[in-house]
Amino acid sequence: MSSQPTKTLETFPNPAADRDFHIHMQIPEFTCLCPKTGQPDFATLILDYIPDQLCVELKSLKLYMWSYRNEGAFHEAVTNRILDDLVAATRPRFMRLTAKFYVRGGVFTNVVAEHRQMGWQPAPRVDLSGFDSESNTRG
């Protein structure tokens, strides 16, 4: 694989496609350029997804993110484009991309974009708070 930025996202087969499980990634070094000023914009991207048949390969994700370093993009546009590209590559059951852009001119910008596979519903949340593991009883 190349060590140059690329828009190619590679995938691998989901090792547990028979169950929903959550993949959480933090990408703290995302950069792109402001399309108005050409100045760099910095963000932490948070990717949460429940894969279906495919998972995104991490090195290709890193090179994909790197490919935005010299591109001008509004925060809203780049967040949605990244989500669209990840959804096209992996076809997940659920995916959320949160982009937390650092302050610029006294304004922090957070952009959250989501995708849900048609018909997919999450399982009910299991709340284990208050469970006493020592006595196996609820506290």
- The answer regarding whether domain 11-116 maps to CATH 3.30.1130.10 reads yes
Long-range contacts at 26-29 (CB < 8 A, ≥ 24 apart): 27/61, 27/65, 29/65
- Annotated catalytic, 34? yes
Q: What is the pLDDT of residue 58?
A: 97
Catalytic residue, candidates 18, 20, 32, 41: 41
Q: How far apart are CA 78 and CA 93, in angstroms?
A: 22
Flag residues of the chain having pLDDT under 50.
Answer: 1
Q: What is the pLDDT of residue 9?
A: 98
pTM (2 d.p.): 0.87
Q: How far apart are CA 52 and CA 49, in angstroms?
A: 9
Catalytic residue, candidates 34, 48, 52, 85: 34
Helix, strand or coil for residue 1? Answer: coil
